[in-house]
């Protein structure tokens, strides 16, 4: 369970102060698939970075399974990112001179997983995101944007995190591959009780999630719940 | 993929830059290693010299330093007195002769008469200790040391090189040192290194055998069994020796009585080489010896001729050590700067690693290892550079530090004789530069390994600062645009 309490993040840009996240509160039960929509620059990525402990809030707190992130020292936050969080970055942020498999293996290496099982699992994950096996050993900077996006998703899943934060995970994918990724994410939340928060501009994707939020001028509002089954057939 | 594999991969990410960095590092490391090798070589030489002169005292007639005929010659009785001094283990008398090529001497005498310049009897610039005028005799031998190369400007002004040509004899040729010795030792008391043939057998008896320096024998096309003359008396070469220096090899050793007879001074000694039984007793023995012989009669010196050489070499040793440290520091600085640059350049990527949960120490280690990969490459090429350059560097260091200083002779030049010497021949005989030939700065694997270990130590220190800088990079860097 993740509880977000009065979260605020302000930036000073020149003489102006901007508040992309301004007093945001919500609670997500474990296993929920949720989405956030909002205009460009509305603060969606900023909010995700606070939930993923990449950044520290100006005020407020995020409590994960009863543990307040604000109270944790940096080393514990690193451990939290490694163990509990799977982050899919808007810009993918893969290591360009490593292969797809090596990129997926990285979080497992940091978590101390044995090399043989790292490799096995990395290949498995890349197959799950439908990356052609011939491209598993290819260096990242020789993959297309959509291919990189799928490697980024596979990497986020590597350590079986309990919270996946995905920033526009289908932005670079064709409809069919995008649908597959959505299916992959919802099966994770369904079958593995993984909490998933997806930032998206894609209404179809948003409509398939259990809960839908909208971020506007730093404020988060929830849109009326829909039946998942209905959304899936829409 | 391990941290190490990633570090190696990162080191080669930008191949052109890596090549440039490795090249610069190789020069710095090569210089450092060459300096270390030079330092070790000179250090070893200094130790060797100290050991060789360590227990030897030289006794010369009193008041003889630098002047001809200063003081009474030493006698056999004084040798006995010296031998009776406590802790003295051996006393070897020597009698020095100065040999001149007969033809050259004649030519020079003629020229001197005309110009009134220099010539025999000019007593300036005598470098060696010893006050007794060594007898100058004529010989069929030609000196192996080319006066022209020894910086005697007077000589060069005369337009001759002193040793070339059969049609035109040099106007002034260098003398050859002939020393009568009472044992098989050279003038510094070191055992003679006989490379061919045999010694003279009984050094206390007259004999027509002679030992020639290798270069002198070569110059005169002599080998074991060949003959030559001194004052029309024929001598046979029984052995060749290598003194290790050009000057030392331009010499002849005959038995002491033979030399005394030739000089017409039976029972007299030019100098005595006194060996003390241990290093610890040298100082006491020196004092006792001086007291026993009387300071008005004899001068006791302790390896004095080599002292200047040793101190010159010591300064070379210090300079090379400082240069080693400086070059090592430069290598460390290069690594530091390049790693700081790399950390700045890869800020975002470091952010990514942190965002996906890499601990600070893993990232730091990755950068240190990358620096070590660069250091290893730099060391490999640097060691190659050093193995080619160290001899040249050692020579350059020694010659630039000793060219003016040492005014004493390297090998206890039997001094005192006015003879044909003009001033200005000190340089080439300057102790340390004579020793130059014998300092071979060969790059021993052990020294190179030690130097490379130091390079790695410095590389780790240099890489530690940027590695610690990575700890301050925040994971949020990942969201910043490039
Ligand atoms: N480090 C920063 N310093 C100053 N302003 C920032 C910083 N990071 C983000 N911002 C600003 O905060 C606002 C929200 O940015 P954010 O990246 O969260 O938007 P977003 O909703 O993810 O947009 P998009 O849909 O385009 O990805 C933007 O106006 C951005 O310019
Ligand atoms: Mg964004």
Give the residue from B259, B279, B302 where a domain finishes: B302
pLDDT class of B134 with cuts at 50, 70, 90: low
First to last CA, chain B: 26
Q: What residue spans of B248-296 are helical by DSSP H?
A: 256-263, 282-293
Q: Could you report the per-residue pLDDT of B438-481, keeping only the tens digit for each?
A: 566 566 778 888 899 999 999 999 999 999 999 999 999 888 76
Question: Are both B383 and B431 inside the same structural domain?
Answer: yes
- Structural domains of chain A in order of their starting residue, each with its CATH number: 2-233 (3.40.50.300)
Q: Ligand 1, from B351, B475, B477, B479: best to mutate by most atoms within 8 Å of Cβ?
A: B479
pLDDT at B54: 65
State the Cα torsion B407-B410-B414-B416 to the nearest 10°.
0
**What local confidence, expressed as pLDDT, does residue B1 receive?**
64
**Which residues, including other chains, have CB under 8 Å from residue B311's CB and lie 6 or more apart?**
none
Q: Is B144 in the same domain as B287?
A: yes
Using an 8 Å Cβ cutoff, are A185 and A33 in contact? yes
Q: In sequence order, what are the beta bridge partners of B361?
A: none
- Number of the ligand 1 atom closest to the C-alpha atom of A48: 18
Where among B302, B336, B353 does a domain terminate? B302
SS3 state of residue B88: strand
The answer to whether residue A97 neighbours chain B at the CB level (below 8 Å) is yes
Mean pLDDT of A191-204: 92
Provide the mean pLDDT of chain B.
77
In percent, the amount of chain B with pLDDT more than 90 equals 27
For residue B185, the 8-state DSSP code is B
**Dist CA A147 CA A137 (whole Å):** 13
Give the separation between CA B82 and CA B70, rounded to whole angstroms. Answer: 21
Centre of ligand 2 to C-alpha A44, Å, is 6
Ligand nearest to the CA of A44: 1
Residue B183 DSSP class: S
The dihedral region occupied by A184, where left means phi > 0, alpha psi between -120 and 50, and beta the remainder, is: alpha
Task: Report pLDDT for A63.
Answer: 96
Q: What is the pLDDT of residues B77-94, one digit of tens each?
A: 888 888 888 888 888 888
Q: What is the pLDDT of residue B158?
A: 44
Q: Are residues B119 and B198 in the same domain?
A: yes
Are B219 and B91 in the same domain? yes
Residues lining ligand 1, Cβ inside 6 A: A 11, 13, 18, 20, 38, 40-46, 90
Helix (H/G/I), strand (E/B), else coil: B410: coil
Identify the pLDDT of residue B388: 80
Contact residues for B228 (Cβ-Cβ < 8 A; gap 6+): B139, B140, B141, B210, B220, B222, B234, B235, B237
Whether pTM > 0.95 for this model: the answer is: no
For the CA of A44, the nearest atom of ligand 1: 21
The reply to whether B266 and B236 lie within a common domain is yes
Residues B238 and B334 in one domain: no
| Distance in Å, alpha carbon of B473 to nearest chain A alpha carbon | 11
CA B443 to CA B445: how far, in whole Å?
6
Q: Per residue in A60-105, pLDDT tens?
A: 999 999 999 999 999 999 999 999 999 999 999 999 999 999 999 9
User: Same domain for B337 and B474?
Assistant: yes
Residues B296, B332 within the same domain: no
Round to whole Å and give the CA distance between B94 and B307. Answer: 21
Tell me: the pLDDT tens digits for B256-286? 999 888 888 888 888 888 888 877 787 788 8
Which of B302, B325, B357 terminates a domain? The answer is B302
How many domains is chain B built from? Answer: 2
In order, the DSSP letters of A7-45 are EEEEEEETTEEEEEEEEEEEEE-TT-EEEEE--TTSSHH
Domain that holds residue B99: 56-302
**By CB neighbour count within 10 A (0-12 exposed, 13-18 middle, 19+ buried), where does A169 fall?**
buried
How large is the ipTM?
A: 0.93
Contacts of B276-280 with C-beta under 8 Å, sequence gap 24+, read B276/B55, B276/B56, B276/B57, B276/B87, B276/B88, B276/B89, B277/B55, B277/B87, B277/B88, B277/B89, B278/B55, B278/B87, B279/B54, B279/B55
CB contact at 8 A, B10 and B284 = no
* B24 and B86 belong to one structural domain: no
Give bridge partners of residue A64 from the DSSP assignment. A2, A67
* Each residue's pLDDT tens digit, A103-161: 999 999 999 999 999 999 999 999 999 999 999 999 999 999 999 999 999 999 999 99
Clarify whether residues B111 and B187 are in a common domain: yes
> By mean pLDDT, which of A20-34, A128-142, B42-56 is the weakest?
B42-56
A167: nearest Cα among A77, A84, A54: A54
Cα–Cα distance between B35 and B386 in angstroms, integer? 8
Is the domain of B297 the same as that of B377?
A: no
- Give the tens place of pLDDT for each residue, B314-372: 888 889 899 999 999 999 999 999 999 999 999 999 999 999 999 999 999 999 999 99
Q: Specify the pairing of strand A211-216 against strand A219-223.
A: antiparallel
Q: Does residue B144 share a domain with residue B71?
A: yes
For CA atoms A141, A147, A152, A155, the dihedral sign is negative
Strands (E) located in A73-128: 85-88
d(CA B60, CA B135): 16
- For helices A115-128 and A145-157, give the axis angle rounded to 10 degrees: 130
Judged against a pLDDT cut of 80, whether residue B429 lies above it is answered with no
Ligand nearest to the CA of A41: 1
């Amino acid at each position: 369970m993740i509880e977000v309490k009065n979260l605020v993040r302000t930036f000073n840009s020149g003489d102006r102060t901007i508040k992309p996240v301004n007093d945001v509160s919500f609670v997500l039960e474990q296993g929920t698939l949720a989405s956030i929509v909002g205009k460009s620059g509305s603060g969606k990525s900023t909010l995700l970075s606070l939930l993923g402990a990449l950044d520290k809030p100006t005020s407020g707190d995020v409590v994960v399974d009863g543990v307040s992130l604000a109270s944790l020292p940096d080393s514990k936050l690193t451990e939290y990112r490694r163990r509990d969080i799977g982050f899919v970055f808007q810009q993918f942020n893969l290591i360009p001179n490593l292969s797809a498999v090596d990129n997926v293996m990285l979080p497992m290496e940091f978590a101390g997983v044995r090399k043989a099982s790292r490799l096995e699992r990395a290949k498995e994950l890349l197959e799950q995101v439908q990356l052609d096996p011939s491209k598993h050993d290819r260096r990242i900077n020789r993959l297309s944007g959509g291919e990189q996006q799928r490697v980024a998703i596979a990497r986020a899943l590597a350590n079986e995190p309990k919270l996946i934060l995905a920033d526009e995970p289908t932005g670079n994918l064709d409809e069919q591959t995008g649908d597959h990724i959505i299916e992959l994410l919802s099966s994770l939340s369904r079958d593995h009780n993984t909490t998933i928060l997806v930032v998206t501009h894609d209404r179809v994707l948003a409509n398939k999630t259990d809960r839908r939020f909208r971020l506007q001028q730093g404020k988060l509002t929830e849109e009326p719940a829909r039946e998942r089954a209905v959304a899936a057939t829409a | 993929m391990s941290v190490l594999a990633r570090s190696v991969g990162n080191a080669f990410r930008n191949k052109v830059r890596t090549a440039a960095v490795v090249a610069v590092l190789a020069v710095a490391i090569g210089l450092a290693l060459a300096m270390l090798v030079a330092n070790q070589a000179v250090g070893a030489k200094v130790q060797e010299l100290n050991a060789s002169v360590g227990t030897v005292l030289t006794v010369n007639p009193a008041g003889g330093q630098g002047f001809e005929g200063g003081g009474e010659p030493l006698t056999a009785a004084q040798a006995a007195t010296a031998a009776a001094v406590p802790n003295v283990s051996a006393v070897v008398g020597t009698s020095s002769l100065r040999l001149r090529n007969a033809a050259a001497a004649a030519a020079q005498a003629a020229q001197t008469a005309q110009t009134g310049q220099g010539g025999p009897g000019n007593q300036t610039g005598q470098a060696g200790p010893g006050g007794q005028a060594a007898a100058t005799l004529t010989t069929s031998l030609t000196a192996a040391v080319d006066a022209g190369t020894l910086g005697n400007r007077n000589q060069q002004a005369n337009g001759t090189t002193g040793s070339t040509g059969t049609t035109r004899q040099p106007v002034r040729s260098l003398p050859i040192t002939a020393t009568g010795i009472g044992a098989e030792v050279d003038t510094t008391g070191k055992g003679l290194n006989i490379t061919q043939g045999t010694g003279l057998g009984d050094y206390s008896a007259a004999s027509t055998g002679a030992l020639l320096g290798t270069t002198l024998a070569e110059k005169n096309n002599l080998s074991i069994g060949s003959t030559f003359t001194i004052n029309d008396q024929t001598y046979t070469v029984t052995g060749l020796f290598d003194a290790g220096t050009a000057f030392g090899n331009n010499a002849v050793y005959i038995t002491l009585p033979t030399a005394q007879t030739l000089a017409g001074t039976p029972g007299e000694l030019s100098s005595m080489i006194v060996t003390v039984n241990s290093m610890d007793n040298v100082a006491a023995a020196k004092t006792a010896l001086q007291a026993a012989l009387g300071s008005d009669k004899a001068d006791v010196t302790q390896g004095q001729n080599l002292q200047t050489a040793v101190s010159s070499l010591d300064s070379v040793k210090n300079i090379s050590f400082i240069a080693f440290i400086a070059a090592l520091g430069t290598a460390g600085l290069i690594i530091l700067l390049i790693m700081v640059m790399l950390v700045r350049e890869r800020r975002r990527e470091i952010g990514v690693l942190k965002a996906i949960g890499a601990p600070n120490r893993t990232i730091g280690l990755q950068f240190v290892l990358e620096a070590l990969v660069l250091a290893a490459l730099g060391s490999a090429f640097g060691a190659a550079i050093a193995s080619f350059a160290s001899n040249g560097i050692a020579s350059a260091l020694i010659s630039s530090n000793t060219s003016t200083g040492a005014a004493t002779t390297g090998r206890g030049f039997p001094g005192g004789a006015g003879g044909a010497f003009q001033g200005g021949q000190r340089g080439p005989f300057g102790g340390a530069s004579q020793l130059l030939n014998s300092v071979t700065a060969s790059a021993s694997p052990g020294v190179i390994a030690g130097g490379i270990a130091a390079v790695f130590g410095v590389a780790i220190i240099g890489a530690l600062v940027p590695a610690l800088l990575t700890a301050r990079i925040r994971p949020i860097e990942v969201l910043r645009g490039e």
